[in-house]
Amino acid sequence: MILVLGGTSDSLEICDLINEHEDLPYTLSVTTSYGEELAKKHTKNVVLGKMSKVDMMKFMNQNKINKIIDATHPYAIEVSKNAIDCAKDLNIDYIRYERKSLIEDISYENKYIVGSIEEGCKIAREKGNNIFIGTGSKNLSQIIDYIPDRNLIVRVLPTTEVIASCENLGLNADNIIAMKGPFSKSINEAFYKHYNVDMVITKESGSAGGFLEKITACEKLNIPVVIVKREKLDYPQIINEIKQIEKILSL
């Protein structure tokens, strides 16, 4: 049994690939109800819920997992660390699928590449007043703590749970853009203009997440952008192309 750790559109593509081979049983793990809703359009084998290392180990033993494909979001570091540890303890294969980093492809000079949310917020607070948060909802409480005295415009998924969490943090309709991406360069430009954005904070996601479109929109409008780099892990095995899955799984 293969365990696919989801949370990205790439994990759904991986499921589609495995579905072509009926003799390969697998389960897709997701952490949100929205993720489960999307996943069920691709597979019936979905397990919902956040798993600690103990939970993950228990699940793997009970379901006789013999291979892990980790296609979680590049910033879901703890999940990946737990999966690597479990794979070592159980002596099973661990494969990391991760979107290729695009930072080296960015020629825009008005950018600040940082290693943490805290560092990025410090720069944004010094240089911006209407700050666009393109990092999703996960780090919002941290960002609000670091930038309490600036106008924040956050773009998040349009789910009841996420919007409620934004409101609980003190954000209101003037601060929240609830839409599902990815977004084109022109849509990003429209957002930036409408909200008079003078600083953008984003994460180093891949092409599937609309990362470059955020940056090129900033470049077009000459808006400075803070890019929070991914934390680097020592993955036992990593691939950047979904088509490599077939070779690795010996399909």
* Contact of 115 with 230, CB cutoff 8 Å: no
Locate 8 and state its tokens.
Answer: 């990205």
Query: What fold is seen in the domain 2-100+232-249?
Result: Rossmann fold (3.40.50)
- For the whole model, what pTM was predicted? 0.85
Which positions of the chain have pLDDT values less than 70?
Answer: 206-208, 250-251
Length of the chain in residues, anyone?
Answer: 251
What's the pLDDT at 160?
Answer: 92
- Evaluate whether 2-100+232-249 and 103-228 have a shared fold: yes
What's the pLDDT at 59?
Answer: 96
What's the pLDDT at 13?
Answer: 93
Helix/strand/coil for 180:
coil
What's the pLDDT at 39?
Answer: 94
Distances from the Cα of 56 to the Cα of 38, 51, 68, 86, 166, angstroms: 22, 6, 11, 7, 29
What's the pLDDT at 244?
Answer: 87
What's the pLDDT at 58?
Answer: 96
What's the pLDDT at 102?
Answer: 82
Query: What fold is seen in the domain 103-228?
Result: Rossmann fold (3.40.50)
What's the pLDDT at 249?
Answer: 75
Q: What are the residue ranges spanned by the domains of the chain?
A: 2-100+232-249, 103-228
Query: 26 φ, ψ to 5°?
Result: -155, 165
What's the pLDDT at 190?
Answer: 97
